[in-house]
C-alpha cells in the first residue's frame, strides 16, 4: 500500500516523516525518523493539522503489552464523552505529542513509543511502575475526531451559549403552559408552585433545615434526588445553598411545605452552567432548573447540636452492643452452617469449597476475584457478579488495598479455587462499619473465587 507522505507540524518545528518499510520489528508498523512506530487504519483527506495549542478531541486507548498480553491503562470509551487534550510542546524526540502531531483530523492510528520515556518524561512518574523497564513499549490507539484552535473553541462555546440564552424564555413558558402553572413569578423570575403550604413555623435564619430535594432540567430530566437513596439533606438557612433561586424559594416555605420551584438561569447557574468532573455539562449554560422541595424538619442551632449529640450517643451504644454480641453471633453462624474449619491465629475462618491448582497467591501478586459479600443474616451488600457485565475485582495482595480478612484469605488460595471467608469485624470494617449497609462490628461472609494470579 502506498502511503501518503505528510508534513508533520508539531511544536513549531517541521519534522519529515521518514518511512522505514523493510525492517520494522513490529509487523505492519512503520517507523518515523525519531523512532515512533506507527500504523494508520484510516487516513482522511482532511487537511486540518495538529499544532501546538490545538485542542484535540479523540477516542484514545493506551495499553502495555507484556508477555504477549495487553494491559489497558486508559480507555476513553469508559468516559461519558470523547477525550480532549491540548497539544503541548514536544519534550523529546519520539514522544506522544510528536505522535499526535503526525495526525490529521479524521485519522485513525496506533503508535508505539518507549514506556520508560512516557512514564518518566511525559507523565512525570517519580519511578517506573512495577513490571516496566527500559525495553517496555506502550501502545496508543487513536482516532482523531476534531482539531480546533482555542479561538475556534471559544467561538463555538459562545455560539452554543447564545443559542441556549435565546431559547430560555420559550422553555420556561412551555413548562408553565404544559403544567398549567397559575402562580405568578417573583420580581426575579422565580416561580414557587406550592403543593402543600405546611403547618409548621416559618424558617428563620440559622435554622437547620432538613429537606428532600429533586433537581431536574426544565425538560424533565432528573439531575439529582435525595429520594434515590432515601438520604435527605440538612443545611443551615442563611448560608448560600446551590443557587440564589433556591435560597429565594426556601425563604417562603415552612415545616411541612412542599413546592416545585422553577428557577431561571439568572437566578440559577447562569452563563457558566454546571459541569461534572469530566467537563461534561450537567446543566448547560443559560438553562432554567426545576426544584422539587419538601421541608421535613426545622431545628434551631441548639436543637440541632443536641440532636447530633444524641445521634452520636445512640451510635456508640449500638456499636458497644454489637461488639459484645459479635463472638456469640459468629459461633451461632458456625453452628447453624455446620462449619468445621478452625480459625486462623487472627480469627479468620477459611472454608475451602474447591481447591485451586498451582502455587498459592502471595504478597505482591495481582489477583482477579469474583465475590459475593453478605452479612451473617444473609443480606447481600455487594457482588461482582451483579455488575453488568459481571466484572472481577482486581487488587494486589499485601498492599492494604482491601480489608485484612481478604489479604489473608485470598493468600490461602490457588488460581481456580473457591472458598467462603468468615471474617470477624476486626479483619473487616471494625468500629466504623461501611456506609449504610455494614454496621459497626459486623462480621462478614464472602463467597470468593480466585480467577487468576499474576506478578504485579
3-state secondary structure 289-320: EEEEEEEEEEECHHHHHHHHHHHHHHHHHHHH
pLDDT of residue 134: 83
pLDDT at 13 over 80: no
Please say if 36 is a catalytic residue: no
> In the chain, what percentage of residues exceed pLDDT 90?
73
Q: What is the pLDDT of residue 278?
A: 66
Q: Is 326 helix (H, G, I), strand (E, B) or coil?
A: helix
386 given a catalytic annotation: no
Helix, strand or coil, per DSSP, at residue 47: coil
The torsion angle over the Cα atoms of residues 368, 372, 374 and 380, rounded to 10 degrees, is 140
Q: Could you say which of 29, 235, 241, 381 is catalytic?
A: 381
The C-alpha cell at 453 is 494470579
Question: Is the model's pLDDT at 206 over the cut of 50?
Answer: yes
Maximal CA-CA distance, the chain = 85
Residue from 1, 22, 2, 13 nearest 102 by CA: 13
Run of H or E including 53? none
**371, 410, 423, 453: the active-site residue:** 371
pLDDT tens-digit readout, 363-374: 989 999 999 999
CA distance 196 to 294: 9
Calpha distance 4→235 (Å, rounded): 63
Res. 10: pLDDT tops 70 = no
Per-residue pLDDT tens for 105-132? 999 999 999 999 999 999 888 888 777 8
- Please tell me whether residue 127 adopts helix, strand or coil conformation: coil
Give the least confident one: 72-86, 421-435, 438-452: 72-86
Write down the H helix ranges in 110-241. Answer: 115-117, 150-178
Query: What would the mean pLDDT of 167-194 be, rounded to a whole number?
Result: 96
Residues whose CB is less than 8 angstroms from the CB of residue 37 and which lie 6 or more positions away in sequence, other chains included: 24, 26, 29, 30, 31, 111, 112, 113, 137
Q: How far apart are CA 92 and CA 36, in angstroms?
A: 12
Instruction: Examine the residue annotation and report whether 382 is marked as an active-site residue of this protein.
Output: yes
CA dihedral 49, 50, 54, 57 (to 10 degrees): 90
Confidence of residue 16 (pLDDT cuts 50, 70, 90): very low
pLDDT at 14 over 80: no
Q: Annotated catalytic, 246?
A: no
Task: Give the active site residue among 281, 382, 393, 395.
Answer: 382
306 φ/ψ sector (left φ>0, alpha ψ -120 to 50, else beta): alpha
Under the banding of pLDDT at 50, 70 and 90, the label for residue 67 is: low
* Residue keyed to cell 475526531: 145
pLDDT score, position 6: 33
Q: Which of 403, 410, 423, 438 is catalytic?
A: 403
Q: Which of 429, 438, 441, 453 is catalytic?
A: 429
100 vs 109: CA distance, rounded Å: 10
265-306: pLDDT as tens digits: 999 999 988 887 766 778 989 999 999 999 999 999 999 999
Instruction: Return the pLDDT at 339.
Output: 94
Catalytic residue, chosen from 139, 191, 446, 453, is 446
- Cβ of 231: how many Cβ atoms within 10 Å? 10
Q: Is the pLDDT of residue 380 over 70?
A: yes
228 counts as catalytic: no
Banded model confidence at residue 310, pLDDT cuts 50, 70, 90: very high
Give catalytic status of residue 74 as yes or no: no
Q: Over the stretch 214-267, which tens digit does the pLDDT of each residue have?
A: 999 999 999 999 999 889 999 999 998 999 999 999 999 999 999 999 999 999
Amino acid at each position: 500500500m502506498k502511503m501518503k507522505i505528510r508534513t508533520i507540524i508539531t511544536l513549531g518545528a517541521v519534522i519529515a516523516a521518514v518511512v522505514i518499510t523493510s525492517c520494522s520489528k513490529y509487523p505492519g508498523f512503520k517507523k518515523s525518523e525519531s523512532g515512533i512506530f506507527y500504523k494508520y487504519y484510516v487516513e482522511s483527506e482532511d487537511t486540518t493539522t495538529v499544532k501546538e495549542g490545538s485542542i484535540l478531541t479523540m477516542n484514545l486507548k493506551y495499553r502495555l503489552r507484556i508477555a504477549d498480553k495487553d494491559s489497558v491503562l486508559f480507555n476513553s470509551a469508559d468516559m461519558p464523552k470523547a477525550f480532549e487534550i491540548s497539544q503541548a510542546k514536544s519534550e523529546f524526540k519520539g514522544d506522544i505529542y510528536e505522535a499526535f502531531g503526525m495526525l490529521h483530523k479524521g485519522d485513525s492510528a496506533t503508535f508505539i513509543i518507549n514506556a520508560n520515556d512516557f512514564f518518566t518524561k511525559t507523565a512525570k512518574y517519580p519511578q517506573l511502575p512495577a513490571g516496566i523497564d527500559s525495553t517496555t513499549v506502550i501502545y496508543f490507539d487513536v482516532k482523531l475526531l476534531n482539531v480546533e484552535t482555542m479561538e475556534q473553541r471559544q467561538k463555538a462555546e459562545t455560539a452554543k451559549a447564545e443559542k441556549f440564552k435565546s431559547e430560555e424564555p420559550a422553555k420556561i413558558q412551555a413548562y408553565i403552559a404544559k403544567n398549567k402553572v397559575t402562580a405568578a413569578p417573583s420580581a426575579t423570575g422565580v416561580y414557587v408552585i406550592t403543593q402543600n403550604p405546611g403547618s409548621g413555623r416559618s424558617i428563620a435564619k440559622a435554622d437547620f433545615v432538613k429537606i428532600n430535594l429533586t433537581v431536574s432540567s426544565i425538560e424533565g430530566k432528573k439531575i439529582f434526588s435525595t429520594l434515590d437513596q432515601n438520604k435527605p439533606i440538612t443545611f443551615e438557612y442563611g448560608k448560600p445553598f446551590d443557587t440564589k433561586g433556591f435560597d429565594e424559594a426556601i425563604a417562603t416555605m415552612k415545616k411541612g411545605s412542599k413546592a416545585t420551584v422553577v428557577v431561571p438561569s439568572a437566578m440559577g447557574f447562569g452563563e457558566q452552567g454546571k459541569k461534572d468532573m469530566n467537563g461534561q455539562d450537567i446543566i448547560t449554560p443559560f438553562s432554567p432548573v426545576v426544584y422539587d422541595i419538601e421541608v421535613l424538619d426545622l431545628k434551631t442551632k441548639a436543637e440541632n447540636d443536641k440532636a447530633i449529640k444524641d445521634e452520636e450517643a445512640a451510635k456508640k451504644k449500638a456499636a458497644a452492643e454489637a461488639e459484645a454480641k459479635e463472638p456469640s453471633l459468629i459461633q451461632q453462624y458456625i453452628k447453624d452452617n455446620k462449619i468445621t474449619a478452625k480459625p486462623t491465629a487472627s480469627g479468620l475462618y477459611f472454608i475451602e469449597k474447591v481447591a485451586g491448582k498451582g502455587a498459592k497467591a502471595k504478597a505482591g501478586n495481582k489477583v482477579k476475584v469474583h465475590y459475593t459479600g453478605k452479612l451473617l443474616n444473609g443480606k447481600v451488600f455487594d457482588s461482582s457478579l451483579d455488575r453488568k457485565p459481571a466484572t472481577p475485582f482486581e487488587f494486589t495482595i499485601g498492599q492494604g488495598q482491601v480489608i485484612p480478612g481478604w489479604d489473608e484469605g485470598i493468600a490461602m488460595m490457588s488460581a481456580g479455587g473457591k472458598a467462603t471467608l468468615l471474617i470477624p469485624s476486626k479483619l473487616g470494617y471494625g468500629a466504623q462499619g461501611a456506609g449504610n449497609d455494614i454496621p459497626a462490628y459486623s462480621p462478614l461472609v464472602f463467597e470468593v473465587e480466585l480467577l487468576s494470579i499474576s506478578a504485579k
